[in-house]
Amino acid sequence: MRVVENEIQTLNNVQPTKIAICVITCFRPDGLKRLLEGVARQKFTKNPTPDIKLVIVDNDAEGSARTVCDEFVGHHEIQLVYEIEQQRGIPFARNHSVDLAKNDVDFIAIMDDDEVPAENWLDELMAAQQEFSADILTGPVTPHFVKQPADWLKSFFGTGNLANGQNLCHNYGYAYTSNLFAKAELFQHIRFDEQFRSNGADDTHLFMQVYQKGYKAIWADKALVTEWLPASRTNYKWLWQRAYRRGNGFAFCELVQNRSIGTRIQRFAKGVFRLVQGILTAALSFGSKAIFVRGIQTSFLGAGMITGSLGSEYQEYRTIHRV
């Protein structure tokens, strides 16, 4: 009987898992409000309810997100920490948010301020982390169109066609901080590189560090978030711009990791291949808008790789798309 009582007491004394949800925000009060309400709606059926802390870092020096955070705290019991990052740039704000949380929690989740998590988002991330003994996880992002684009364009948006638990090693194309969950201790050893302040490649570089240091990164297929996309980001011109940025940013990340002439030549050659491949695809599209756009998209990806390998940096995030 005493053994049973001791076991029950041990179970009752188990501390809840501590999780910080880190969000950086800039000039998106409506998007941040949707995100916060989505966090408040989280349900847990596979895991005990964790101890959740929201960490909001505002990259607007004037603190325009403070009102939204104050209103949320006034209606919900979830702990919320709000601070301002004066230095403009995504990695500055991300490092600020992670530094506020990493010493006090077991796990850190990261989302963007134009996203809304599904009600089981955090529960599924916790379950996948335990099932696959992962150090870091990322999951699918599905689009919500503020204004409906043409049907043929819809297939270009959203992420996620991998099997649950698939190892992401060396698969940089599926490395996202828009839906991320990681052991907090990981951020004692890696950081977002602040030289990528405006080109959006800090998340790609983070995952390069993850792979090089031997951490286990997996895909959590059931941990879904929805990204709100304004009309300014649901057209073929934006797709081409984003492809160029991806290629350019990836080349820069590679050069940061290895500045040898061999790295430059290899990435330049891969860029030329993608450029030619895309042009041929577009030329042979035979009237298909989707194939034509995808071909040009591949060409822009290659062009970005070429310019990145030559040292030219494209800074996409000087412009903020508000939703």
Same domain, 196 and 278: no
80: left (phi over 0), alpha (psi -120 to 50) or beta: beta
Distance CA 166, CA 163 (A): 5
Mean pLDDT of 140-163: 90
| Tokens of residue 98, six digits | 């992670």
Helix, strand, or coil (residue 48): coil
Domain tally, the chain = 2
Same domain, 206 and 241: no
Same domain, 145 and 287: no
Q: What local confidence, expressed as pLDDT, does residue 248 receive?
A: 94
| Tokens of residue 230, six digits | 């304004």
> Which sign, positive or negative, has the C-alpha torsion 253, 257, 260, 265?
negative
Beta strands in the chain (DSSP E): 18-25, 51-58, 79-84, 107-112, 115-117, 136-138, 141-145, 179-183, 217-219, 225-229
In a domain, 196, yes or no: yes
Same domain, 157 and 241: no
φ, ψ for residue 250, nearest 5 deg: -65, -40
Same domain, 189 and 176: yes
Percent of the chain with pLDDT over 70: 92
Same domain, 111 and 204: yes
Q: Which 8-state DSSP code applies to residue 107?
A: E
Same domain, 129 and 21: yes
Contact by Cβ (8 Å): 95, 110 = no
Domain boundary among 211, 232, 253: 232
**CATH number for position 64:** 3.90.550.10
- The pTM for the full model equals 0.90
Mean pLDDT of 149-169: 88
Q: What local confidence, expressed as pLDDT, does residue 2 receive?
A: 42
Contact by Cβ (8 Å): 265, 319 = no
| Tokens of residue 111, six digits | 């989302």
Same domain, 293 and 199: no
In a domain, 58, yes or no: yes
In a domain, 71, yes or no: yes
In a domain, 3, yes or no: no
Helix, strand, or coil (residue 280): helix
Locus of tokens 């991998």: 162
Amino acid at 20: A
Residue 1: band (very low, low, confident or very high) from pLDDT cuts 50, 70, 90 = very low
Same domain, 203 and 263: no
Q: Mean pLDDT, the chain, as a whole number? A: 91
| C-alpha count within 13 angstroms, C-beta hemisphere, residue 320 | 17
In Å, how far are 24, 68, 80, 147, 299 from 85, measured between CA atoms? 9, 17, 16, 32, 36
Domain boundary among 183, 204, 232: 232
pLDDT digits (tens, 9 = 90+) for 94-108: 999 999 999 999 999
pLDDT at 259 over 70: yes
Contact by Cβ (8 Å): 184, 169 = no
Structural domain span for residue 251:
235-318
Rg (CA), the chain: 21
Distance CA 37, CA 79 (A): 13
Distance CA 267, CA 305 (A): 6
Same domain, 287 and 163: no
Same domain, 110 and 247: no
| Tokens of residue 41, six digits | 């709606």
Count of other CB atoms within 10 angstroms of residue 122? 24
Same domain, 241 and 200: no
Domain boundary among 232, 249, 284: 232
Mean pLDDT of 35-52: 98
pLDDT digits (tens, 9 = 90+) for 115-145: 999 999 999 999 999 999 999 999 999 999 9
Q: What local confidence, expressed as pLDDT, does residue 175 receive?
A: 66
Q: What local confidence, expressed as pLDDT, does residue 201 receive?
A: 86
| Tokens of residue 23, six digits | 């969000």
